[in-house]
Amino acid sequence: MTMPYAESEKHATIVRQAKVAQLRLAGVTSQTRIAEILLVNQSTISDDFKAIDAFWRERAQQDIAAAKGLDVERCERLIAACWGEAMKGHIPSVKMVIEVMGRRAKLLGLDAPVTVNFVQDEARRLAAEFGLNISEIMAEAQRIVTMPAPALALSPSSGIGAAMSEFE
């Protein structure tokens, strides 16, 4: 029994993207060259690059989250191990607990962010240089910063993600 056309096209795309990823990992970075090797248009390879990059970004975010989780757990264990002596006033243990708690706070983002006014300084410079209104520059910067990020099209469990797991 043959696959329906849509499924066979999806399968062909996944297989091609896996080959594109293999070639990139092997050091072939030219979209034109990859298109020649795989006998497809360069625009197809460009789309494949975008899909693969999105997959790799998502995968990296998951790896970072897992590493943070592991480090937080290690911090918790270190704090627990030193806590008894720290509560008895053992100065090296107190210092260790404070240091590890600081590291844990950084990992979890508990500390207030450090603010830097270089944006306003740069906006003032641009306004003076180009004769612009500083309020309009700041409003545009705020609009850009608060724009929603584009949604990632792929997840590790579908499409190229599933195919890529075969090459790990």
Q: What is the pLDDT of residues 22-42, one digit of tens each?
A: 999 999 999 999 999 999 999
> What's the predicted TM-score (pTM) here?
0.51
Angstrom distance (rounded) from CA 71 to CA 142? 34
Instruction: Say yes or no to pLDDT of 82 above 50.
Output: yes
The larger pLDDT score, comparing residue 167 to residue 12, is at 12
Residue 90 confidence (pLDDT) = 96
Mean pLDDT to the nearest integer, 62-78: 95
Residue 25 confidence (pLDDT) = 95
Residue 153 confidence (pLDDT) = 46
Mean pLDDT to the nearest integer, 63-89: 96
**b/e map of 90-115 (b: 16 or more CB within 10 Å)?**
eeebbebbeebeebbeeeeeeeeeee
54: Cα separation from own chain's centroid: 9
Residue 105 confidence (pLDDT) = 93
